[in-house]
Chain A
Amino acid sequence: MARYILGRLLSAIPTLFLIVTISFFLIRIAPGGPFDLERPLEAKVMENLARIYQLDKPLWQQYLLYLKSLASGDFGPSFYFRDFTINELFAEGLPISIQLGSSALVLALIVGGAMGVLAALRQNRPADYSIMAAATIGVTIPNFVVAPLLTLLLGVWLGWLPVGGWNNGAARNMILPIVTLALPQIAVVARLTRGSMIEALRSNHVRTARAYGLSGYSVVVVHALRGALLPVVSYLGPAAAALLTGSVVVETIFGIPGIGRYFVQGALNRDYTLVMGTVVVVAVFVIVFNLIVDLVYALLDPRVRYD
């Protein structure tokens, strides 16, 4: 098992290298640069800036320099947030995004899973239809609509929760962003769980469990749900990577200092190092979570073996 994990991590290196290379040249091909303003800076100033940030060197040299600093774990200085390095920005924002994302993930798994199981057990009956209708709504309404609505209802009218701000991670401040993040995930998890659960409930081994008079809990949870979770787990891997690296919309609306907003800001400002940093962080998360999914598979299903 340890060998398998090591092998997978080693094979991630060429993947990361490709991602870094492609993104590096893509962002450089994009027109404009980090110091282009509406009113252009003086030529002398531009020259100085370019020299400081090593933009005056040929592109291939810049690429090699970036690879070198990346290999030592240094994402370089931000071009836009002048006094910060990318490492500092992430050290501050990433824990916040992870905290929000993982809470939303757990919420989605529990609530979505329970809804899916219930819908499957009541297939084609009112409970099923209402759960699936709610799930469809959850997927279709975008979070930039849900967030203001929740804020209006719970924050402004009822005054139960603060409308925004991070407040050093106070629980009251986290509820609305977590719920906003979780809603569409709950919907997807519910749909997936329902589908695989219906299939599992029809399977021959669940028929055996029923034929042997096992209790409802044993039939549904022990024999049907464990197998039915496999497709949900496959979905949750990439979903977790996306959630944990933050959400632009949620962080912007609720004024949360996570790293989600850097995706857009970095790209718009041509903050080369910030864009590269976010790309690398997301790529690492995706790789790691796909590995975790495969390991959980082995845990859930004895037929999957990695040794």
Chain B
Amino acid sequence: MTEAMTNAHKSAGEAVLDIRDLRVSFATAVGTVQAVRGVDVSVAKGETVAIVGESGSGKSQTMMAAMGLLAANGKAEGEALYRGANILGLPTAKLNRIRGAKITMIFQEPMTSLDPLYTIERQLIEPMVEHGGIGRARAKARALELLKLVNIPQPERKLRSFPHELSGGQRQRVMIAMALANDPDVLIADEPTTALDVTTQAQILALIADLQKRLGMAVVFITHDLGIVRQIADRVYVMKDGQVVEQGEAARILTEPKHPYTRMLLDAEPEGRKAPVTGESPILLEGQKVSVAFDLDSGLLKAPIVLKAVDDVSLAVRQGQTLGIVGESGSGKSTLGRALLQLLPHQGRVFFSGNDISNKDRGAMRPLRRQMQLVFQDPYGSLSPRMTVGQIVTEGLLVHEPGLSAAERDRRACAVLEEVSLDPALRNRYPHEFSGGQRQRIAIARTMVLKPKLVVLDEPTSALDRTIQKQIVELLRKLQADHGLTYLFISHDLAVVRALADWVMVMQHGRIVEAGPTPVIFESPVQDYTRELIAAAANNLSG
């Protein structure tokens, strides 16, 4: 270590965690992949530092490496100083005295980060007994205290619950409780709100900020969401391709970004608004009092418990219109989309181009399927991994235009891939060779090849980074303009809905809370729930 570096370290002596020249590489079948290339990150007592970047930027791996949590094929070099002592590469037994006690972590996936086989109490107690040297009885009392601290309703009962009995937001609160159990110096939060609904996101963020103020620990917040940075961070590191491209005070980075990548991130909000269609445009899809009920827990002798996933919803969509259906998970928005497409049995009536299609069987629906298509949220799970992109895109043609020659199908595959801005030369490759955004383009191409009238888009941008989202929004807008498409756009992401929809419907518990033209809903919402949703998403919208 050079003298200059030592001095620099002394001047920044208050740093609790100081990562220096960290490099992370993974040995893969195709050779060594450099995930992190010499990163310096430090955080002082009581400070909140955000590490921002898109997926693959190495932001998570930086902290995973520091905590000794890299996958088996990962290798870390450099230094991670906790109170001046390097913890990188410590033997597990020594490292275990620090992680879980002095430095704790919460993860992106609240649904899977807790062990499904043990009660909340048992999982909360484990690290306390391991590190604190306190007995089970005291640990139990502390566990209850912690659940109260993180505002979990019915904390006594929740202690005896298993993770699957809790909602995503509650599980993340349990994780936070676990992180605080041993009074840590540093809390590392790896995208802790990404998998949660907007209103829950806001609550979790407020909780972390509040606990930090009261307990005075340092927080490292890993996120792709600049709205969160604005809300809670003191300092920001912007990462791209395994390197820090810009760092500084949060206020300065957000207002005067220097690096072009930071500027691009800040500029990544979907833009533009959809022009409303006129009243003369014919109604393409109409639903009258549509309800979908699921029987839960039906037994031979007891009356089934009925869950009304969609409850008496009526709607009408005109040709060329985009209806945004907004709501949090469990609000019934996806179920409604599926019922309208006759993919789920429902009550009430549905008309497509003026014809009653309510509960038509598969055979009767088949000729209509071509005109009504569906794009899913998960671009990784919805494309068959064993088919080439060309096969995936043209599979629908085999059903709807069986007479086409192979050469003609191939020609159409090229045309449609070009239309979604993918190189047709790539049509012989398999889905795993494409990025998330490219896969979503493939999924869109698969529907467009059939020249549909109506496309139901079920959270098509939710799994994508903001910059990619923006591109997909632009693609969808262009396709709509070129082909006069009608969209049913289902999303919890208000920013995207605002950019794409000319009519918005807000759903909660299977019912319509409020509906109206997009500008009206966003600028002067009438219902409390709509206001709450918009307020919670405000950080994203003002970006």
Contacts and interface: CB of A to CB of B under 8 A. Distances in A.
Given A207-B69, A302-B162, A303-B162, A215 B130 contact: yes
A301 interface: yes
Nearest to A204: B112
A210 B92 CA distance: 9
Contact of B127 (A213, A216, A300): A213
A172 interface: no
Q: Which bracket fits the contact residues of B?
A: 20 to 34
A301 B116 contact: yes
A210 B116 CA distance: 16
Contact of B112 (A203, A211, A226): A203
Q: Which bracket fits the contact residues of A?
A: 20 to 34
Which of A205, A212, A214, A227 is the most central at the interface, judged by chain B CB atoms within 10 Å of its CB? A212
A286 to B, nearest CB: 26
Interface stretch (B101-109, B283-291, B344-352): B101-109
Nearest to A302: B162
B431 interface: no
A123 B72 contact: yes
Contacts of A214: 96, 100, 126-127, 130
B116 A207 contact: no
A210 B178 CA distance: 13
B117 A211 contact: no
A86 to B, nearest CB: 37
Contacts of B409: none
B117 A300 contact: yes
B164 interface: yes
B173 interface: no
Contacts of B162: 302-303
Interface in A43-93: none
B278 to A, nearest CB: 50
Interface in A276-307: 300-303
Contacts of A8: none
B117 A213 contact: no
B298 interface: no
Given A212-B99, A212-B178, A301 B113 contact: no
A207 B113 contact: yes
B67 A211 contact: yes
Contacts of A203: 112
Contact of A302 (B69, B95, B116, B178): B116
Given A214-B127, A301-B117, A208 B107 contact: yes
Contacts of A216: 92
B116 A208 contact: no
Interface of A: 123-124, 202-216, 218, 222-223, 226-227, 300-303
12 contacts: A204-B109, A205-B114, A208-B105, A208-B113, A210-B69, A211-B67, A211-B105, A212-B126, A216-B92, A223-B115, A227-B117, A302-B116
Given A205-B114, A211-B69, A213-B97, 11 more contacts: A203-B112, A204-B113, A208-B178, A211-B99, A212-B130, A212-B178, A213-B98, A213-B99, A214-B130, A216-B92, A302-B162
Interface of B: 67-69, 71-72, 92, 95-101, 104-105, 107, 109, 112-118, 126-127, 130-131, 162, 164, 175, 178
Please give me the 4 A-B residue pairs with the lowest Cβ-Cβ distance, nearest first. Answer: A213-B100, A212-B100, A213-B96, A204-B112
